[in-house]
Structures are given as structure tokens and as C-alpha cells.
Amino acid sequence: MRGPHDLGGLPAGPVDTSPHDMTFWEKQIDALNALLSQKGLRRVDENRRYIETLGHDAYNSLSYYERWTAALARQLIDKGVFTQDEVDAKVAEIRARLGGDAA
């Protein structure tokens, strides 16, 4: 079965290769991934595997760095660094601080 990441041979439009500036949070997740790699808490192959298992809906609706974030959170939960309840509580705290409109 073809995963959401496996687009080889499928019809598609042109690839946008123009450079873009990374947002602050994209720089943060990039740095966090690098730091956790240095600490031995994640590996590139793990990140790829977690991204590839997001499922079609999540994979197709998330941006590149949103996929990284979702994969990293799942990896750290699976490794026992923190729990899903802790993630949920932090998300609720941030949403409340931002007025509840943050997705």
C-alpha cells in the first residue's frame, strides 16, 4: 500500500524551489530536532518513519515543519520523555493564553 509520502510516478504540478524565510517557530523546531539528535533522543530515520506514519489526512494537511513537530512529539511520548496528558495540558495552557483561538 502506498503511503502519503510516496508520490513517485503520480501526476503532480511543478515543485516550488524558490527559497523562503523560515518563521521563528520553524527555526525553533529545527534547532530542537538538532539538539535532540545530539543528545541521542532522536534519529533521522526515526523522524522519517514517524512522519510517514502520520496518515494521509494529517500528512496532506500539515506543513513540512508541522509534520516534524507532530513526529517529534510522538517520538518523545513513545520514548517516555513526556506523556500525552502532559502534551495535552500544555496545548490547553497555550490555547488559553492565546485566547482559545490557536489551533
Q: Domain-by-domain residue ranges, the chain?
A: 24-97
Question: Which of 99, 98, 27 shows the shortest CA–CA distance to 69?
Answer: 27
Residue 52, amino acid: E
pLDDT at 55: 85
Per-residue pLDDT of 11-64, as tens digits, reads 777 877 888 899 999 999 999 999 999 998 988 888 889 988 888 888 889 999
Phi, psi (rounded to 5 degrees) for 83: -105, 165
Q: What's the farthest any 2 CA atoms get from each other in the chain?
A: 45
pLDDT at 9 over 70: no
> Which fold, 24-97?
Cyclin A; domain 1 (1.10.472)
- Give the separation between CA 91 and CA 43, rounded to whole angstroms: 25
Confidence of residue 86 (pLDDT cuts 50, 70, 90): very high
**Burial category of 45 from C-beta neighbours within 10 Å (exposed 0-12, middle 13-18, buried 19 and up):** exposed
For 44, the grid coordinates are 533521522
pTM of the model: 0.76
71-87 average pLDDT score: 94
pLDDT at 61: 92
